[in-house]
Amino acid sequence: MLPAIQIMPSILAADFGDLRAECHRLVEAGADQLHIDVMDGVFVPNLSFGAQAVKVAVGAIPLNVHLMMINPGPYLDDFAKAGADTISIHVESNCDAVEALRNIRALGARAGITLNPKTPVEQVFDIVEAGLADEVLVMSVEPGFGGQAYMAEVEEKLLVLRRRWPDLDLAIDGGIDDRSVQGASAHGANLIVSGSHLFKQPALDEAISILRSEAEEHQFDLVE
């Protein structure tokens, strides 16, 4: 059975002035998880949240923390203690991915591995085959900035992963709206990260509902 569609709003697009209220608003609007992008200004040319933002966001739904960091290893404990339910690292980072993923699980969180648009999908095969990752996050924009256009060419990676591992949680992040989610879902994504699109809509609950409906309507069919 395929894993269920989940909508994960990215708080990178939220109002930083009252992050706690924004997180509460997302929960009330029907989000399944909150996606928290952490940027170190080195791995990507931007800075964002630290572990304190995770503490602020802790609430009724899981927190999915995406570490866009050149060396996430020393910070895993901080994010786990702050309340992260899932911690994803990049396969392109300088750390030992196998060691980091094992440490994430040892800290009590789900472990995720992320790959950038230009990274061959084969680079995560050994990690997934070894059972070290609870989810794979496929970036559909170059990481570092919100509001970029969706790169449909990454859908082939989703398809390859979904066919090899039907039960695996597959996340897509970058440029997701009501249209691009159709292709992402049809190629196997079930964890849908959306930031700028959702926060531009007049009614957040309706926007999440529509995004979910589009993803479910076009969800990958194992029979095909």
Instruction: Give the residue numbers marked as catalytic.
Output: 37, 173
Q: Which two tokens stand for residue 69?
A: 């960091």
What's the order of all strands across the beta sheet hosting 191-194? 6-9, 191-194, 169-173, 135-139, 110-115, 86-90, 63-68, 34-39
Query: In terms of DSSP bridges, do strands 86-90 and 110-115 run parallel, antiparallel, or are they unpaired?
Result: parallel
